[in-house]
Amino acid sequence: MTLLALETSCDETSAAVVRDGQILANVVSSQIELHAEYGGVVPELAAREHLKNLPPVAQAALHAAAISPAQLDAVAATQGPGLPTALLVGFKAAQAMAFALNKPFLGINHHEAHLYSPWISGAPLAADFSKFQPNISLIVSGGHTLLVLVAAELKHRVLGGTIDDAAGECFDKTGKLMGLAYPAGPVIDRLAAEGNPRAYNFPRPLQHDANDDFSFSGLKTSVRYFIRDNPALLDDRQKVCDLCASVQAAIIEVLVAKTIRAAKRHGVRCVTASGGVTCNRALRNELERTCHHHGFSLRLADKALCTDNAAMIGILAERKLRAGLAPAEPDAEIQPGWRLE
């Protein structure tokens, strides 16, 4: 079965061709530089960029996969959640293409696709669900922080999420307070590697609360006050590295502690993680270390698939078709606020 998948929910324009669980092509055009000037994603600009970039990106994916549109068995796109005008571009393009080819069309929940992205690995990248185990899945990105129980393939339940800022947002906003470029997550990752994570002590919000929710805005505020009271610190590179390491440690400690606790509580033996923040080396190392310590197997999304991509959309769409789930109605609409349940 061969599918074309499109992803345009935020600031990455992506198209992928997937065949029988294999990623034949996954082309991603990032708009990070465009939005960096504004310190965050500007929805209208994102939509215009998607409009401009989607045709060449889709062409490039088909070309790289050596697949012609006539060879496609289905077309899929992210239906939500995401920025409405951005979502519309990929969703309507995929719908029109499916209509023109007279093939099934699938609208995919972006977060559900993240849930299964850790099962895509290897070179060339391919999904391997033969090793699937019930798991606790952590999704951490610029817009979302979710802890999900994945009891079986295509069967999941959200346990908790952030009640304010997402983990990636916390990286980006605290980095901005330090004067770092947007998105600050990767910069903090680099600087933190040269810093002392115990140099400064920041709160670990909700770490010991009984629920599976997260909160990062208090941590951001405490970094704001810390910098206000110690402005000279920003002129000392080593202290900035220490600050980055300390903030990063606070974020990671909460994420890892609550993930492990949920895994124990639900009796699963496997932990998975995906989303842009999963690129963070300290988070990857800490998850490795802690999962090993507690006897959990760990599947981290491949670094190429942590940030938004159409490959994960295509893989989930193919699983759904194979499982006999009905394609979307030809006139289905985007669901910008589609929450994973």
Residues that bind Zn ion (CB under 5 A): 141, 308
Residues whose CB falls within 8 Å of the CB of residue 123, separated by 6 or more in sequence, listed in order: none
Other C-beta atoms lying within 10 Å of the C-beta of residue 118: 26
CA count, 13 A, side-chain hemisphere, 27: 17
81 makes contact, choosing from ligand KG4, Zn ion, none, with CB < 5 to 8 Å by partner type, with none
Cβ–Cβ under 8 Å, residues 124 and 243? no
Nearer to ligand KG4, 184 or 262 (CB): 184
Q: Which has the closest alpha carbon to 11: 123, 127, 168, 159?
A: 168
Among 80, 90, 183, 327, binds ligand KG4 (CB under 6 A): 183
Among 13, 31, 53, 141, binds ligand KG4 (CB under 6 A): 141
98 makes contact, choosing from ligand KG4, Zn ion, none, with CB < 5 to 8 Å by partner type, with none
183 makes contact, choosing from ligand KG4, Zn ion, none, with CB < 5 to 8 Å by partner type, with ligand KG4
168 makes contact, choosing from ligand KG4, Zn ion, none, with CB < 5 to 8 Å by partner type, with ligand KG4
Residue 313 and residue 16: Cα distance in Å, rounded? 8
What is the smallest separation between the CB atom of 112 and ligand KG4, expressed in angstroms?
Answer: 14
Q: Can residue 307 be called a binding residue for ligand KG4 (CB under 6 A)? A: yes
What is the smallest separation between the CB atom of 52 and ligand KG4, expressed in angstroms?
Answer: 20
Cβ–Cβ under 8 Å, residues 35 and 182? yes
**DSSP per residue, 35-62:** HHTTTS--HHHHHHHHHHHHHHHHHHHH
Q: Can residue 142 be called a binding residue for ligand KG4 (CB under 6 A)? A: yes
120 makes contact, choosing from Zn ion, ligand KG4, none, with CB < 5 to 8 Å by partner type, with none
Size of interface with ligand KG4, in residues (CB under 6 A): 19
Q: Which residue is nearest to ligand KG4 (CB)?
A: 276
Residue type, 116: Y
Residue 160 and residue 222: Cα distance in Å, rounded? 23
Q: Which residues of the shown chain bind ligand KG4 in the complex (CB under 6 A)?
A: 10, 141-143, 168, 171-172, 183-186, 189, 275-277, 279-280, 307-308
